[in-house]
Amino acid sequence: MSNTMTELRAAYGEIADLRAAMGLLEWDQQTHMPKEGFATRGRVVATLAQIAHERYLSPRFDELVAAAEAEAPPGDDAITLDLLRWERDRERRIPATLVEENSLAVTASYQAWEEARKTKDFAQFAPHLEKVVALRRRFADHYGYDAHPWDALVPGFERGMTAALIKPVFDKVQPRVTALLKAIQSKGPAHDLSFLDQRWDPDAQWAFGMRVLADLGFDLARGRQDRSTHPFTMGMAPTDVRLTTRLKAESLFSALMATAHEGGHGLYEQGFRPEDARTPLGHAPSSAVHESQARLYEYRVAACLPFWRHYAPVLREHFPGQLDNVSAEQLYAAINEVSASFIRVDADEVTYPLHIILRFELELELIAGTLAVRDLPEAWNAKMRAYLGITPPDPVLGCMQDVHWAEALFGYFPSYSLGTMFGAMFMEKMEADHPSLWTDMEAGDFRPVLGWLRRNVHTVGSRMKPLELVRAATGREFTPEPFLHYLEAKYTELYRLGG
């Protein structure tokens, strides 16, 4: 490595350290911070964000980038240079004052969101969301865009992605998923799931989730799990990765699904190469790739029949007397029960894409200004009725359910479904590479899954762009077909739709 690249990496490393500190401040804010800590926490995060921004745009950083460009280094250095230059150029478009203003607004908005949820009062949250949306539009204006201001925001999560690229994919997926959902609804349940209607001790749920997390390969010497209102993952380094889950006594699977989902994120964060730490390489190439890992562990692993053939006896031990006559097949049917429901994170695999498409469409309108924030609850409910046939009784079950918009994460939602589709392609290839994949899982051995992902996804880091990574890992161009094929096959069998 040249001296220039060494210095450039050191300069970038300081920015990475500031971001790691911000990660911890945000993790703490959602897990351990005393209630009134909000007053000053936003200020601290804003200062760190501002310093990171300044460092990116400092003359010294520019000099190093220019010197590195002149040297035109090969291999990883070339990718590193491309990534940090792209990030810098994007950062450069935003004035430091706007960064600070945004950071303070987001902290206040998060707090307002948490408070407003207690009283189910959208009006309390609305002024904060208006401010966040207005700030997003100002960001979009600074970034620049051709077709839609939303296109200016999405590259923060999916570089090179636009509304015009996503829409045809979603337009292909939606009618087939809608057809599947209608078939399921007209057929009705094929299994007796009345056992679900019990109280599930949160401590036992926690213990079972921790057991599964360790079995999946999450290293608890390099990470931990906590509780928070909305589950999330924060990776400070591959040696320090934090997940959260939530525990609901009325739901047998909610905590496990959150643990498996965040566990997928966490396994990814633990799987970056140690030597990529503090460089642009030690990250996912996009949010969709990150979500591919989360959705894969949530559904393809934790909601498959071999998983439940292995864990049914373990779950019975955790809830003595509550599951004695419940088979692995019933647990599998229960965790995959399809029903139109209000909450995205609790949504089943079939209705989930509809929740995403709804948010994608509303986001486009909010950012374009064709939908006013005050009209959001009504627009939300109208789409819920149209796509899922149900009307949320209050905003906590409607447009205030997700933390994303409160945290200014506009442009993120499509990543979940794109990620699910990437995951379906990974699974197809993984099955081909490991014919014993499902029998291994049934024996409680999840190493083939993690091994395949470590080799083909995790250790790649940001060395490839998302669609390149999908192509390299699977040998195919990106397509939603494997996802649709998997979904239709699985639920046709589960709901006996074929007959």
Our CB check for a second copy shows the closer of 36 and 324 to be 36
In this structure, what token pair is assigned to residue 484?
């649709």
- Marked catalytic residue, from 26, 91, 158, 262: 262
**Maximum distance among all Cα pairs of the chain, rounded to whole angstroms:** 70
Nearest distance in Å: CB 367, a second copy: 31
In this structure, what token pair is assigned to residue 184?
């399921």
To the query of whether residue 493 is one of the catalytic residues in this protein, the response is no
In this structure, what token pair is assigned to residue 183?
């078939």
Our CB check for a second copy shows the closer of 196 and 277 to be 277
Our CB check for a second copy shows the closer of 50 and 124 to be 50
Our CB check for a second copy shows the closer of 133 and 241 to be 241
Sheet holding 233-237, edge to edge: 223-227, 240-245, 233-237
Nearest distance in Å: CB 240, a second copy: 4
CA distance 478 to 441: 27
Please report the DSSP string for 381-448 in residue order. HHHHHHHHS---SSTTTTTTS-STTTTT-TT-THHHHHHHHHHHHHHHHHHHH-TTHHHHHHTT--HH
Our CB check for a second copy shows the closer of 56 and 311 to be 56
Number of H helices, E strands in the chain: 20, 3
Amino acid at 327: S
Nearest distance in Å: CB 63, a second copy: 18
Nearest to 194 by CA among 87, 346, 325, 84: 325
Q: Which spans of this chain sit near a second copy (rule: CB under 8 A)?
A: 13-14, 17-18, 20-21, 24-25, 28, 32-41, 43-44, 47-48, 50-51, 219-224, 226, 236-237, 239-241, 277-278
Nearest distance in Å: CB 46, a second copy: 8
CB atoms within 10 A of CB 389: 11
CA distance 384 to 389: 6
Nearest distance in Å: CB 219, a second copy: 8
End-to-end CA distance of the chain: 64
CA 119 to chain centre: 27
Our CB check for a second copy shows the closer of 104 and 193 to be 104
Nearest distance in Å: CB 8, a second copy: 16
Supply the residues annotated as catalytic.
Answer: 262
